Amino acid sequence: MKIGILGTGMVAQSLAPKLVELGHDVLLGTRDVKESLARTGTNGWGHPEFGDWHKQNSHIKVGTFADAAVHGELVMNACSGHGSLPALKAAGANNLNGKILVDISNPLDFSNGFPPSLFVGNTDSLGEQIQREYPSVKVVKTLNTVNAMLMTNPNMLGGGDHTIFVSGNDAQAKEAVIDFLKSQFGWRDVIDFGDITNARATESYLHLWIRMFGQFQNPMVTIKVLK
């Protein structure tokens, strides 16, 4: 499948090689290709900057946000919270309309340090903001509750016996994403978590996740829902 990924950070760097390995035709989109490829060193999380990463992953196609949106039959938003709406604007509504947008972003606000707060929440969510801004895009919120490594490899923790949530307004799009998570990444415990307003819940969960990450000094932490 042709997949466009918006973003060049940790999430995109986890998704892209895995999807290529699975046989998909992937294009990573960024704001400024030249500038992104020129970034070297490690970021604040100790992760390689995009330029260095791409030297080790030169088989991954890179283009603009619009290139990625045009390319993808399926588009994935792997941008930061603050970067998401600007990236989608650059991608272009006309290039996104009618498509499924898997939204993995979280509205994290690090302006007061760690742990971050959320810049939208409680009675709204970033997933909903994106859906409102792009009413003809089928926004499906998922994967935002786990570390980038775990998104594509749930079996890395607890034998894969943990939970992922999927929310969105379009039932068919949601079903397609659920199938994708199961068949491509091996997710087993996938909860169809209602319409996009439920992104409020999974984004708010970041308050808990980020503190577990901080206190355990371990990003490989997640939850299994018991009922």
Residues that bind a copy of itself (CB under 8 A): 112, 117-118, 121-123, 157-158, 161-163, 193-194, 198, 200-202, 204-205, 207-208, 211-212, 215-216, 218, 220-227
Q: Which residue, 58 or 111, is less far from a copy of itself as judged by CB?
A: 111
Q: How far is the CB of 45 from a copy of itself (least distance, A)?
A: 18
Compute the least distance from the CB of residue 124 to a copy of itself, in Å: 10
- What are phi and psi for residue 139, nearest 5 degrees? -80, 125
Stated as kind and residue range, the H or E segment containing 101 is: strand 100-103
- Residue of 130, 95, 154 lying closest to 203 (CA atoms): 130
Helix, strand, or coil here: 128?
helix
Question: What does the alpha-carbon distance between residue 20 and residue 54 come to, in Å, rounded to a whole number?
Answer: 14
Give Cβ neighbours of residue 162 (< 8 Å, ≥ 6 apart): 154, 189, 222, 223, 224
Alpha carbons 213 and 179: distance in angstroms, whole number: 29
Which tokens go with 1?
Answer: 């499948």
Q: Which is nearer to a copy of itself, 89 or 224 (CB)?
A: 224
Encoded tokens for 199 = 């992104």
Instruction: Output the smallest distance, CB 160 to a copy of itself, in A.
Output: 10
Closest distance of CB 126 from a copy of itself, Å: 14
Choose between 56 and 114: whose C-beta lies nearer to a copy of itself: 114
Output the smallest distance, CB 163 to a copy of itself, in A.
Answer: 8
Nearer of residues 52 and 189 to a copy of itself, judged by Cβ: 189
